[in-house]
Amino acid sequence: MNNSIYLYGGSFNPFHIGHLNVIETLVSSFPESKVVVMPSHRSPLKEFDYDPGIEHRVEVVKSMTRDLSVEVDTYEMDQGKKCYTVDVLPYIKEKYASDNINIVIGLDQLNQFHKWKNYQKVLSLANLLVVSRPGYDFLKFEDLPLDLQDLVDDYTQDKFILSTGLTITYLKLDENFDVSSSELRSKMRKGQPTGNLILEESKNYFLEKKIYERLDAKVEDYKKFTLDCEKLLNEKNALNVLSYDVRHITQPSEFNLIASGTNTRHTSSLAEHLIRYMRKTRGLSPIAVEGISEGRWIVIDYGALIVHVFYEFVRNEYNLEELWVNGELLKES
């Protein structure tokens, strides 16, 4: 065996058949190298995603890969905090005595790689191996983010040669699994079927440990919960907070709540406070959160309740309340 390392990290939240396909492809494509799978503590870009806990995610990854020639490294779990790739690489180099480290990422991550902490240093320490589903071609040079284009000295059909002497290469996966972890989390927490995208052994583990439980099983009264969210946002000086019961009209939810902030920072602060408060005091994490980094239109999905937090100027553009005029406007008692 040579000393090349293929480092595949991620939250694996949850671990699904697409992740397994990547790992199996790596093992078959590089039989003389070591494949290291490292579950992340929590992605710095996904702070508000529902997380059952890294210890559960590590356990499932170990269970699902026990028959494969891979090593599941618990370094990030052992640190007990967020870790960045640039800080993990020296550990990988020392532990595995490797001078050829390859970080395995998807095309979506390549598109935002320039947002990683000290990405230039990362590309001086390790190569990138970009994996993608059949039917998807490697990015052309002009499709790379401009920050990455500046680091490229030369390129071929499936390889970028960097000024650091390292490379970005491409590996097409064996199977076509179009799987989204966020969509799977949403399906499970709404009680919807996931088909064969999650292996049966994983599903049994989730049931046994009561993780990815249906959110509606933890909220006894969604009307009261909606009004509690309204009260909390009012206490944080949100503008024009309104709640609607839309159970008798066609909507993707049963209740809607809308509020505004004076600017994008205030808007993000309102959403973050609501999420953290409900998580800490009631053990309720949203199914999904969108738009929180931009702060213009933040959507917080609590299943039967959807919370919309707008920058006031943007709210006036969309005028969502017009969609709910036939619903019941709720009032705090």
243 and 198, same structural domain? Answer: no
291 and 143, same structural domain? Answer: no
Helices (H), the chain: 17-29, 54-64, 75-79, 85-95, 107-111, 119-125, 146-149, 181-189, 200-209, 222-235, 264-282, 312-318
226 and 201, same structural domain? Answer: no
Q: Tell me, what DSSP letter sits at residue 184? A: H
pTM comes to 0.84
10 and 143, same structural domain? Answer: yes
Could you list the residue range(s) of the whole structural domain that residue 23 is in? 4-209
User: pLDDT per residue over 278-328, tens digit each?
Assistant: 999 999 999 999 999 899 999 999 999 999 999 999 999 999 999 999 999
**Token couple for 89:** 């690489």
190 and 65, same structural domain? Answer: yes
Is the pLDDT confidence value at 28 over 80?
A: yes
Asked whether residue 215 is assigned to any structural domain, the reply reads: no
276 and 166, same structural domain? Answer: no
Q: What pLDDT score does 135 carry?
A: 67
202 and 306, same structural domain? Answer: no
Tell me: cis bond preceding 90? Omega within 30 of 0 counts. no
Number of structural domains found in the chain: 2
CATH of the domain at 117: 3.40.50.620
Asked whether residue 217 is assigned to any structural domain, the reply reads: no
Q: Are 41 and 82 in contact (CB under 8 A)?
A: yes
Asked whether residue 216 is assigned to any structural domain, the reply reads: no
User: pLDDT per residue over 36-89, tens digit each?
Assistant: 999 998 665 566 778 899 999 999 999 999 999 999 999 999 998 888 999 999
